[in-house]
Amino acid sequence: MRLVVLDDDEPITDFMATVARECGWEAETATDELAFRALVRAMPPDAILLDLQLGETDGIAQLHFLHSVNYTGAIVLMSGFDSRVLASAQHIGESLGLRIAALIEKPARWAEIRDVIRAIERSFGSKPTGTAEAAPHAVQARADLISAQDVGEAIDAGQMELHLQPIVAAAGHGVTSAEALIRWRDPVRGLLPPGRFVSVAETDDRVIDQMTMWAVQTGAAQYRRLAQLGSAIRIFVNISGRNLQSLDFPDRMAALRERMAVPDHAIGLEITESVAMEDLDVTESVLTRLRLKGFSVALDDFGTGHSSLTALRRMPFSAIKIDKSFVSELQTSSDSFTIVKSVIQLARDMGLESVAEGVENADAARLLTELGIDHLQGYYFSPPRPFDSFVTWLDGWPRGVTPHPNRGQPRSATSIATG
Ligand code: C2E
Ligand code: MG
Ligand code: MG
């Protein structure tokens, strides 16, 4: 295992490196940005100890750098500031998709650093690196650079998979729908989560369009197979805010649905608010037209963006998905509890369905149900699964399937009803 320490205070870098070596790690140190970046570029380490205050630059700039090189190892943040600064830095890192393994308030004791290093070792299990493959570092560094074109080619090559995660009714826990989540089975890198390539795809309008169309088409095909098996549950596909910037998107979506011969209610869409609202006028038209064409549209990750309430006021959403960061803190943070409670109330008052994501245990499910949530989703019920595994899970789910009352009609009936 290899560690790189960045702190502008040399005695501190030496101290940290010594602790790491005592734990059997290789350790290298840097006291300025240039040296640090050179070390990371030459060979991405398994873990990085990063001081937030660095003289001319700061730890946040380094987090953006690590994001830009697709660093996947563990990051430990250190600061002499109060814990709120550390918590904000952690949040920034996590929103960049980085793996923040621990926070250390300086001055740190030997035992504290040692425990953090040991915890990182444990989190890697037998695998020596934070990436999908235990490839040699140099190879890994090259393999980590993903371009939009790579993503487009992977879609063409049939390397994408659409996994399904059940969404259950809070009342009775019958399965009402499923969320479709994309994964890339790369022959070299292994199974990549969307965090590794969706934002890359979004840099190229053509590629993100291709990805969305692939996901909707695959979701529709999955709906049909589920319907044949007697479980006609709606599939919610994630679409990018970029898609909502093109005015003909609703037409192309409806045409695709028609071509796949699935009923209007077969496909729902989830949109993350932070990227959804670039040009509010265009977004509003596109969303409204999607609704008119019979798509349910959920506002995803509610509470994490910058314009939640503006988005809610202007856009005709049919459901709110409360972000998992609030749900995971439900039992430990009274602020999160209050926010979740209010959002559920807000959804109800606005006539929207509410969905909680990230439900990981029975207590959270019970609490959310008491607060009046409509639907629950999370590892407590099931993680996202490949299609066949999802079908097996569904077969064994004792609470069965509770599709929406207006579902399961033949295509012709809904076509007449909706013109
Ligand atoms: P999302 O739409 O908010 O999806 C929920 C994420 O939470 C998924 O991560 C899911 O695996 C994870 N999750 C589910 N239950 C739990 C739980 O109990 N605890 C925790 N900690 N996590 C849980 P995933 O699959 O890595 O997807 C990440 C994001 O990537 C999605 O967030 C979505 O924004 C995006 N995404 C996924 N598939 C697509 C796609 O086909 N197209 C686009 N444009 N974006 C996609
Ligand atoms: Mg989603
Ligand atoms: Mg979400």
Contact between residue 66 and residue 138 where contact means Cβ atoms under 8 Å apart: no
The string over 155-181, giving b where at least 16 C-beta atoms fall within 10 Å of a residue's C-beta and e elsewhere, is beeeebebbbbbbbbbeebbbbbbbbb
With a Cβ cut-off of 6 Å, ligand 1 is lined by 165, 181-182, 193-195, 198, 211, 215, 238-240, 270, 272, 300-301, 324, 357-360, 378-379, 384
Closest-CA residue, ligand 1 atom 7, reads 358
Model confidence at 134: pLDDT above 50: no
Contact between residue 320 and residue 355 where contact means Cβ atoms under 8 Å apart: yes
Distance 166 CA to ligand 3 centre (A): 14
Q: Could you report the per-residue pLDDT of 8-37, keeping only the tens digit for each?
A: 999 999 999 999 999 999 999 999 999 999
Q: For the purposes of burial, counting CB atoms within 10 Å of the CB of 409, is it exposed (0-12), middle (13-18) or buried (19 or more)?
A: middle
pLDDT band at 88 (very low <50, low <70, confident <90, very high): confident
Q: Which long-range contacts (CB under 8 A, 24 or more apart) does 394-398 make?
A: 394/166, 394/175, 394/226, 394/231, 397/166, 397/175
Contact between residue 297 and residue 338 where contact means Cβ atoms under 8 Å apart: no
Least confident of 93-102, 120-129, 214-223, 280-289: 120-129
What's the confidence (pLDDT) of residue 306?
58
Q: Could you report the per-residue pLDDT of 50-76, keeping only the tens digit for each?
A: 999 887 778 888 999 999 899 999 999
Model confidence at 407: pLDDT above 60: no
The structural domains of the chain, ordered by start, are: 2-143 (3.40.50.2300), 148-396 (3.20.20.450)
Closest-CA residue, ligand 1 atom 42, reads 238
Report the predicted TM-score, pTM, of the whole model to 2 decimal places: 0.69
Q: Which H or E run contains 390? A: helix 387-396
pLDDT band at 142 (very low <50, low <70, confident <90, very high): very low
